[in-house]
A and B are shown apart, each in its own frame.
Chain A
Amino acid sequence: MTAIPDTQSFAPDPVLPKRKSRVWAKFKRSPSALLGGVIVLFFVIVALLAPFLPIPGPLETDWGAVRKAPSAAHLFGTDEIGRDVLSRMIWGAQASLLAGVVSVLIAVAMGVPLGVIAGYRRGWTDAAISRVTEALLAAPFLILAIALAAFLGPSLTNAMIAIGVSATPVFIRLARAQTLSVMTEDYVESARAIGVGHVALIWRYILPNIFPPILVQGTLTIATAIIAEAALSFLGLGQQPPAPSWGAMLNVAKNFLEQAPWMALYPGMAIFLVVLGFNLLGDGLRDALDPRDN
């Protein structure tokens, strides 16, 4: 046995904070990211608490109060058949947030595997996936979503599927590009040198390392998807009446813009705010997860 230097003593206790806390610290320092987080959190909590809040039901009509301006009884006023706008907005938040999150989950679930396979296999697999992606990207996002939703038939579920499919190419492209860049890293070569199989390599090396940009893109896409859901509902392709959704509310409200502007104002503001919130949150995450500075 040869003497090994007692290099143990050289090993200092790690002084660097863990990655996660560093990301969080950076996130906290950005007021806009925090604001975005707070807005998103607020809408999520309100949407979840909808059944427990002291508000009239979203479908409850009050024929004595049709198109009444905001008052103590109806904080945001009432609509054309006497339903409480605040209540419909809160319940509509469920549809909007759900549509945003679910359609992005659909897009991630389809786009990331395809993108990773394209970047990992390269060659003709990549060529085939990439050409289809480009073809899909050639059609404007909303037009594609409208076409798909119209094809599938009007319902909230179909709207989510349509939006999810339309958002998929972005994730394919992102996942492919990220995979290509991770594949050039030394640690991927080290995995190959050890004999790690393809599945394990993708699972342990590629996916964890391409996750941050996908998280950021996902957050930003939720905002886009919420707008798309509102647009589809506005066109009658999303949430079906009488169930509430911000887009559907705007659709009806446009007929009463002069008599009852509050019917359009509040759902419009909600869309604006929640989209702003997701965008700020996404930008904040991008900066916080960027390892380049700090």
Chain B
Amino acid sequence: MTTPLILEARDLKKGFVTKKPLFGEPTVVRAVDGVDLAIREGETFAIVGESGCGKSTLARLLVRLIEPSKGQVTYEGRDIGGLSDKALRALRAEIQFIFQDPFSSLNPRMTVGALIEEPLRTHGIGTGAERRAAVARILTRVGLRAEHADRYPHEFSGGQRQRIGIARALVTGPKLVIGDEPVSALDVSVQAQVINILEDLKDEFGLTLIIIAHDLAVIRHMSDRVGVMYLGKLVEIGPADALFAAPAHPYTETLLAAIPISAVGARKAHVAVEGDPPNPIAPPPGCRFHTRCPYAKAKCHSEEPELQDLGDGRSVACHFAQDLALKGIQPDIGQRSEATAKRFEIYSAARARTDPPTNTKSTT
């Protein structure tokens, strides 16, 4: 249980100034508002939450693509925030990022080969010939062909482009890869391929993965631990299985309830959150979730809960975590829900495919 930590965040905060009047206080969107995280070497950690909760900002803070307003990130014991521009750039060979939108995250004016070679070139790894060989190798590894190196990104489909993005992220042999919703822009069948590739490569390269997602179904079977984020804060952290089976935070419960399940008599909480998340410019006092929480009590309106340890590696930020009996999703022994079954079917179909199919063509 005591695997060393690879990445640690302490009280990480990021506010974006939206309006700065000549006099008085500027308006600040508190996108990330005090996050503590500890990622262990070799694990897959998923960060989930609805749109606008700050998870993409958090992902960028973790690799210092944006500067935090406050707080500290340590990678293998080194404070990333204190690194010089040059040292930080050198570190980027070890920490890589996979972007959400495969259509906008590849420079349209560079060939695929140049794009994938770029990290090697930037970090001065190998000779020209070695680099080209590495590009060809990683291209076939992510299921493309070596000849594709001469083509431009716009000639590829969404799934293919995302695999180019993965190849670009993995070619330097990084230790830590952060995926900012790596599959949410792809359609389901292609999501399966990309997730498979990520999982396989994770094992092969011994990666630590941090996956940002809003779709719990996607991360469920690939993550070891899950952090649930709401309005700039982590409200629950725990091992994936335990968190899915018995959520400790009402917000986690509602997220789980949003996963479509069609099995008759399926155990599922009938809770639905109403309304939109509160404005992150002025988060509500007390517990941030109280405005939408079906279990909110008086205390929730005034007192903000801290993350408390529940044991078994779980922690939650809810005053009534112990009192509430929240419903999750049973571990999928027995029957899978139809949606999940379908998804798994597509996964295995994608895995099994060995001959060039005549009727299948990747879309998007």
Contact = CB atoms under 8 A, between A and B. Distances in A.
B276 interface: no
B152 A18 contact: yes
Interface residues of B, number: 59
Contacts of A1: 204
Interface in A49-95: none
A197 B118 CA distance: 11
A2 interface: yes
Contact of A197 (B122, B163, B355): B122
A209 B109 contact: yes
Interface stretch (B139-147, B253-261, B288-296): B139-147
Interface in A77-124: none
A195 B63 CA distance: 11
Nearest to A22: B154
A4 B200 contact: yes
B357 A9 contact: yes
B160 to A, nearest CB: 6
A193 B160 contact: no
Contacts of A8: 140, 143-145
A59 B263 CA distance: 96
Nearest to A211: B109
A5 B104 contact: no
Interface in B328-364: 350-357, 360-362
A258 interface: no
Chain A interface size band reads 20 to 34
Contacts of B165: 190
Contacts of B351: 3, 5
A192 interface: yes
A62 to B, nearest CB: 56
B151 interface: yes
A207 to B, nearest CB: 9
Given A1-B204, A9-B357, A191-B107, A196 B143 contact: no
Given A10-B143, A194-B122, A187 B104 contact: yes
B323 interface: no
B101 interface: yes
A9 B119 CA distance: 27
Interface stretch (B86-94, B234-242, B309-317): B86-94
Nearest to A200: B122
B65 A196 contact: no
B182 interface: no
Contact of B107 (A7, A12, A193, A205): A205
Contacts of B361: 10, 12
Given A8-B144, A190-B97, A204-B110, A19 B163 contact: no
A208 interface: yes
Given A11-B362, A196-B118, A190 B145 contact: no
A7 B163 contact: yes
Given A12-B157, A195-B123, 17 more contacts: A1-B204, A4-B200, A5-B193, A5-B351, A6-B353, A6-B354, A7-B144, A11-B145, A12-B361, A185-B104, A189-B105, A190-B165, A196-B89, A200-B122, A204-B107, A205-B107, A208-B109
